[in-house]
Structure 1
Amino acid sequence: MDPPTPPLGAAPRNLRILTFLAALLPLGWLAWKFAFVTDDAFITFRYALNWAEGLGLVYHPGDAPPVEGYSEFLWAILMGVGIRLGVPPEGLSQVLGLTSAVLLLAGWARYASRSIATGPVALVGGALFLGCLPPLAVWSTGGMATMAFCAAVFWLFALTWSKPRARWGIKVFTVGALVVLLRADGAWWVAWILGPALGGVWAGGDKSRFKTLLSATVALVVVWTLHVAWRYGFYGDWLPNTARAKVGISMRAAERGYNYLMHFMLVFPGVLLAFISLGSARCWRERHLGPVLGVVLGTALHVVLTGGDFMAFGRFLVPALPFVALLLCAGLSGLEEQGSPVAAAGYALVCCGLVLPAAFDRDIFPARWRTAFGFRHNTPQALERSEWGQWYRMREQANEFADIGKALKHLAEPGDSVVYGAVGALGFYSGLRVYDRNGLVTREVALRDPLPQATSPGHDKTVPPEFFSRYHPTILDGVWFPGGLGALRLYREKNPGVLREGLKPQDLGGWDLNPRPDQTLLLEYGEEN
């Protein structure tokens, strides 16, 4: 006969603190290891800068109508407030991201100890797994709202499915509004959390709680509607331009999204093992494991429908990971309650061991397995690149584009413009008019039909620099080349055609702020410049 299940909510305070620390310590170390700001974050920073300067939430002041080339409305406002207060967005975004990570872990430890498990092995094991997940650490910085959104989604779930306390409905509404406004697609997660909750409360016959939850849900629908109406009035479109720039909901997107999921599971097989642990979980209804699983599946469905994301370490799946850790915690609790704490501890350590290697550029399975589910189709090298390699490339490219932007700020004349495919750091630091080859901030590119060949997520409608020739852009391309002119000549002799023919060296001599004095800046100017 199985031992009785201990009452939930009985975990002592010291155990809750230990649970929190078990997640915080590995996550903090990994976040320090992966600290960076991705190039796309600088797109939002430029919108925030213009807003802070009174020019509106726009990329190019004066455009009518402007283009919504960002997906994180509330994040842009927060960055703008920081700029007005004299706080650079590069630092503020990282501080807010790390703070959000701490709030997430605190909320996870609180909810898990009250609603999922009471045993030390289950709580500490689940928390350790959560803290060892590299995607959470990577996107605790990154400069984007990913971790703030993840924390808001989790807290919305925890509040919704916890015992109502004082001002419960107001708290659910407030956190839900954060979810709706932090990301353009935030309403998707609100629906996956509040929808099942409304159904469950209605079926349970708790009319008072149902009325409160329904009122909060209706209020959130109003918030979402007002934001969409504002978007249409200000930008002239119901959807952000970032959504228009992608392939849209289609079989092609679904195939790429499926590959995204399979690739993630092959890189982090410990996540799949966490699912398998559910076979040992007990008291599904009391622990709300169905709704927990629903959020995970809803996030996976979102990935399939949208076609995934090109960025490193499964950014689109990050909101699901705290819920995967809850599922593992429930499975470990089942083992612990059945008198197998050693087996539970071993299972938790194996799960951690099957997610950590990716943080050190190591594969659990042969690399060709994940390559078979490649979704970054820019180049063969991109398909084969590991998640660590993709993160490293993103970090280095953001620095490279930032330095090009600073150089252009030094070189450019009033009215100059540039054509580029990565418009974040280059656009933020240069302040120039940028024609976006990928269409995130250029509407006419985003409204084109997708390219016929397989593409990387977010690069579905990329155009060549010549597409913008009718606007007579000043600069068509720019790269840094390691070394001086002698090395450049030798490189071109041995590798003809690798660098665009029109790229010419720029003289940055005498500029005290030159970010790369040991390299040569190559720019390609338009025909009329």
Structure 2
Amino acid sequence: MTASPTLRVLVDPSDVGRPGGEPARRRSVLLAVLSVLTGTAAIGWHGALYGNWIVDDAAITFAYARSFADGLGPVVHPGAEAVEGFSNPTWLLLLALGKLVGLFDHGTLFGVPDYVLFPKGLALLCCAGILTVCYLVARRVTRRPWLVTAATGLVLAAIPSFVIWSFSGLENSLYALTVVALAAVLFLAVLDGRLRTAKVALAAGALAAVAALTRPEGLVYAGAYPLLALVLLRRPLLRPSIRNAALSVAAFALPVGGYYAWRLATFGQWLSSPAVAKSQSLPALSDFARPGELVAYAGAPAVLVVAAVLAMALARPLWWRQAMLALLVPLGLALFAYAVLESDWMEQYRFATPVWVLGALVGSLAVADVFRHSRPRRRAWLAAGLVVAALPSGAAYAESAEEFRANPNISACYVADRLGRNFNAYADILGLREASLLLPDLGGSALTTRLHLVDMAGLGEPRIAEFIRNGDMAGLRDYVFEEVKPTFIHSRWPWASGNGISSDPRIARDYHQLYSYPDDDPPNGDWVRKGAVPDQATLAELRRYARTEVERVERDSRTATYPLRSCGDTLRPGQTTVGQT
């Protein structure tokens, strides 16, 4: 007697003939735990190569988390205007909760500053969560889910892009966990014949909402459930498919719409300041070729071999083919989101994190299935092909990781030292109780400054964000020199060439230069407003400080170890001592 199609879906064929009993279950649980721990440990080991490095953009969220936890509301530092200078509310919420319970922004944990350990610890937990979800998916369709899980973890551990941005202090790990959880809900629902149920529709919509509130491009995952329902549509199922697709969209729209309503009521605009400043535009046709960058990064031979294996798995009568589509739809949305986003100035493909997770899971499942249904000789050829294809990728990954470790994107500690503590010292020399600073880097400076910060990049300054969006650099300069009139200005490449502030003739008219980068054209460095300097002796003291302490920070920042270290047990407003304490 043959099993009915329904029975084939509800009963995992890989369980047929498998020995049962309590010992087998204990062994299965042990292997599951070991596979998740192995993958997580490998990812954590790779993350540890980057030491205490936290990218400065992450410190912007740290500053907002501090303000929310301290009851100040959405301000980047005490006394600042309420501005939505962040774009990751769910990650911010976790950090604020960490501060409230004493795990973040208080001091050290196990001898490590908690502003380093807590976000990196959260990232490691999210990576463990990702692999746990992968195991839950793999155990339904493979004989050895622990092997698929461990393989997925090791692949992710090898990809610098995934590890770097997961442990950067940013929200990437939480975002990836949310997206893979959404994919798993759809996958298991298809296997169990529950896709067109209200419970699954609501769960998919809610997870899509979390994704959208973790990263702005997470909005695309609102389409995951409706798209999958459309791909698997059959005429008799048209009405329930439409009903549940609407239910999923409603579950997504309620929390996301509520957040947008709060944004409009609080800030008077539909978009956050970072979204305005980054000038996201409608995609051009050429943008849809951008996923090719990820193919080149991952290694074309490896991608082609895995794609061929996936095609082999789908070409045969795969009993869980429709469930595989439940993974491919979110993967397609992840690639679409990467394609339409404006290019990022940071290295290592910061916006590709969900692509790596879903791609590694799909590839591992396909390889496991083809191996299982292949004869020994074919398995040998397949294994050899995978090894040969992986070698160039592994070599490129190792080189990429080493290059980034030697010269990572701008660290929060550099900004805290250079734009927070150094400018606090300038203000102390001048005896200024109140002063303002125009600068392009807002993270570490917001955590350590006692000055009023004016964000040259527009993330925390709506007027400047509008000038940048409209390409009105002349208007931006007029706003700076005629309205803001900051006490201090710091400019560096590439901002000077973009906005022209440091080459505007009004900077020589109104400001003394304290520090300059000798090789930059146009000139960059530090300036102080002439009216803030009482006499030539004080100006000489400011320049003497710049030649010694500011130059020391710049010199140290060019060493290999500086970006990987912490910058003190705490980051507090008013600090003037630079370096690790």
**CA distance in 1 between partners of 2:521 and 2:342 (Å):** 33
Q: Does 1:317 align with 2:355?
A: no
Q: Does 1:393 align with 2:407?
A: yes
Query: CA 1:316–1:510 in structure 2 vs 1: closer, same or farther (change >3 Å)?
Result: closer
More deviation, 312-321/461-470:
461-470
Per the alignment, residue 487 of structure 1 pairs with none
Per the alignment, residue 499 of structure 2 pairs with none
- What is the 5 A alignment of 1:29-178? 29-35=45-51, 36-59=53-76, 66-86=82-102, 87-88=104-105, 89-115=115-141, 118=144, 125-163=151-189, 169=200, 172=204, 175-178=207-210
Query: CA 1:516–1:111 in structure 2 vs 1: closer, same or farther (change >3 Å)?
Result: same
SS in 2 for 1:225: helix
Query: CA 1:406–1:55 in structure 2 vs 1: closer, same or farther (change >3 Å)?
Result: same
Larger of the two Rg values belongs to structure: 2
Give the partner amino acid of 2:332. Answer: L
**CA distance in 1 between partners of 2:270 and 2:174 (Å):** 24
Query: CA 1:493–1:290 in structure 2 vs 1: closer, same or farther (change >3 Å)?
Result: closer
Query: CA 1:506–1:126 in structure 2 vs 1: closer, same or farther (change >3 Å)?
Result: same
One of 2, 7, 10 as aligned partner of 2:13:
7
One of 481, 503, 506 as aligned partner of 1:469:
481
Query: CA 1:342–1:211 in structure 2 vs 1: closer, same or farther (change >3 Å)?
Result: farther
Query: CA 1:213–1:120 in structure 2 vs 1: closer, same or farther (change >3 Å)?
Result: same
Q: Does 1:428 align with 2:414?
A: no
Give the partner amino acid of 1:227. Answer: Y
The answer to whether the 8 Å contact 2:205/2:251 transfers is: yes
Query: CA 1:208–1:466 in structure 2 vs 1: closer, same or farther (change >3 Å)?
Result: closer
One of 267, 280, 286 as aligned partner of 2:320:
286
**CA distance in 2 between partners of 1:494 and 1:78 (Å):** 42
Query: CA 1:130–1:478 in structure 2 vs 1: closer, same or farther (change >3 Å)?
Result: closer
Give the partner amino acid of 2:383. Answer: A
Give the partner amino acid of 1:237. Answer: Q
- TM-superposed deviation, 1:276: 3.3
Query: CA 1:91–1:416 in structure 2 vs 1: closer, same or farther (change >3 Å)?
Result: farther
Give the partner amino acid of 1:337. Answer: H
Per the alignment, residue 441 of structure 1 pairs with 460
One of 373, 376, 379 as aligned partner of 1:341:
379
- TM-superposed deviation, 1:207: 8.8
The answer to whether the 8 Å contact 2:489/2:526 transfers is: no
- TM-superposed deviation, 1:393: 3.5
Q: Does 1:266 align with 2:300?
A: no
- TM-superposed deviation, 1:519: 6.2
The answer to whether the 8 Å contact 1:132/1:352 transfers is: no
Per the alignment, residue 355 of structure 1 pairs with 393
Question: What TM-score does the superposition give when structure 1 sets the normalisation length?
Answer: 0.75
The answer to whether the 8 Å contact 1:59/1:69 transfers is: yes
More deviation, 91-100/495-504:
495-504
The answer to whether the 8 Å contact 1:94/1:143 transfers is: yes
Give the partner amino acid of 2:101. Answer: L
SS in 2 for 1:139: helix
**CA distance in 2 between partners of 1:314 and 1:497 (Å):** 28
Per the alignment, residue 381 of structure 1 pairs with none
- TM-superposed deviation, 1:295: 1.9
- What is the 5 A alignment of 1:132-281? 132-163=158-189, 169=200, 172=204, 175-193=207-225, 195-197=227-229, 200=232, 205=237, 215-250=247-282, 255=286, 257=287, 260-269=290-299, 270-281=302-313
Query: CA 1:238–1:402 in structure 2 vs 1: closer, same or farther (change >3 Å)?
Result: same
**CA distance in 1 between partners of 2:486 and 2:475 (Å):** 15
Give the partner amino acid of 1:286. Answer: W
Query: CA 1:95–1:502 in structure 2 vs 1: closer, same or farther (change >3 Å)?
Result: closer
May I ask how many residue pairs the two structures share in their alignment? Answer: 472
Per the alignment, residue 376 of structure 1 pairs with none
Of Structure 1 and Structure 2, which has the larger fraction of its residues in helix? 2
More deviation, 13-22/137-146:
13-22
Aligned residues with identical type, % of pairs: 20
More deviation, 204-213/114-123:
204-213
Give the partner amino acid of 1:47. Answer: Y
Query: CA 1:311–1:234 in structure 2 vs 1: closer, same or farther (change >3 Å)?
Result: same
**CA distance in 1 between partners of 2:345 and 2:44 (Å):** 25
Query: CA 1:40–1:117 in structure 2 vs 1: closer, same or farther (change >3 Å)?
Result: farther
- TM-superposed deviation, 1:510: 12
Query: CA 1:355–1:399 in structure 2 vs 1: closer, same or farther (change >3 Å)?
Result: farther
**CA distance in 1 between partners of 2:552 and 2:99 (Å):** 23
**CA distance in 1 between partners of 2:174 and 2:48 (Å):** 17
- What is the 5 A alignment of 1:493-508? 500=524, 505=543, 507=545
Per the alignment, residue 418 of structure 1 pairs with 437
Query: CA 1:80–1:25 in structure 2 vs 1: closer, same or farther (change >3 Å)?
Result: closer
The answer to whether the 8 Å contact 1:160/1:197 transfers is: no
**CA distance in 1 between partners of 2:44 and 2:474 (Å):** 37
Question: What TM-score does the superposition give when structure 2 sets the normalisation length?
Answer: 0.69
Query: CA 1:319–1:517 in structure 2 vs 1: closer, same or farther (change >3 Å)?
Result: closer
**CA distance in 2 between partners of 1:292 and 1:25 (Å):** 25
* Residue ranges of structure 1 left out of the alignment (5+ in a row): 363-386, 453-459, 480-490, 521-529
Per the alignment, residue 538 of structure 2 pairs with none
**CA distance in 2 between partners of 1:46 and 1:201 (Å):** 47
The C-alpha deviation readout for 1:121-170, integer Å capped at 9, x for no partner, is 76654453233222221122100111011001111221232146999557
Query: CA 1:202–1:79 in structure 2 vs 1: closer, same or farther (change >3 Å)?
Result: farther
